[in-house]
Amino acid sequence: MGICTDRSVIITGAGGGLGRAHALALAAEGASVLVNDINRDAAAAVVAEIDAAGGRAIANSDDITSMTGAHAIVEAAATSFGDVHAVVNNAGVLRDRMFASLSEEDWDLVIKVHLKGHFCITSTLVQRWRAQVKENGQKVDARIINTTSGAGLQGSIGQSNYAAAKGGIATLTLVQAAELGRYGITANALAPAARTAMTETVFADVMKKPDDGFDHFAPENVSPLVVWLCSAQSAGVSGRVFEADGGRISVADGWRTGPARDKGARWAPDEVGAAVEQILAEATPPQKVYGS
């Protein structure tokens, strides 16, 4: 008996990289898994691996960025497994450019896949879970696991579209947790540091697989946290952003009100500079933007 036995999970972008690792780890812990990926052959290959290991999974290639596609994904999981207990929003895409060279198409695609992709599938599931609560009169035990990034938490040179989307996802997670707890739905996010198709070209030298010893950037290192967040054991944890980096799990300490000066009246413009100087002298400096 694994910690996700009798639970079913939808994972987006699960044909390779982190999504594949999550799917295999969840199935190994007893979950029934819908493997969603735009590359249907890749999704089918992951399902074949799960089947061969004695797990239960189905492949799906519907579009996560439309409500029509999201409904089809949820319906496929519910029909095959009887219910859906968790979603791991993992799918992503990169169109890296310096901000001055970023096109409208580069911006729109990245925001659509990451931010709207998180919205469509999760909104569809939340409607389903809320209806179950109203029908049964008791809370569900449901999980939303979103994927943000260090780029979304600290920023990243050459990735303003990606950083904006991932920052939006982190904040979205906080709001979901605050609004949906009444139904028994938790929402958490993770910022993984792992070798995937999206990172291996940008950070190829840093993230290359070692010849021996612990493979720090193996995507499989992130999956145990995802499995636990999908399980019933994580019911008391919501509204958190975790970072997973090799063998380290940390919780991100996000935006909060820091040092202040309160005049008790309207500031004159020529008074503001001195107040800001005092505030910044007391404040903890922000982490540096990646690449700066």
- Pick the catalytic residue: 160, 162, 231, 238? 162
Catalytic site includes residue 149: yes
- Pick the catalytic residue: 8, 166, 223, 238? 166
Catalytic site includes residue 162: yes
Catalytic site includes residue 32: no
- Pick the catalytic residue: 61, 149, 234, 238? 149
- Encode the chain in three state secondary structure: CCCCCCCEEEECCCCCHHHHHHHHHHHHCCCEEEEECCCHHHHHHHHHHHHHCCCEEEEECCCCCCHHHHHHHHHHHHHHHCCCCEEECCCCCCCCECHHHCCHHHHHHHHHHHHHHHHHHHHHHHHHHHHHHHHHCCCCCEEEEEECCHHHHHCECCEHHHHHHHHHHHHHHHHHHHHHHHHCEEEEEEEEECCCCCCCCCCHHHHCCCCCCCCCCCHHHCHHHHHHHHCHHHCCCCCCEEEEECCEEEECCCCCCCCCCCCCCCCCHHHHHHHHHHHHHHCCCCCCCECC
Contact 30, 3 (CB under 8 A): yes
Q: Give catalytic residues, as residue numbers.
A: 149, 162, 166
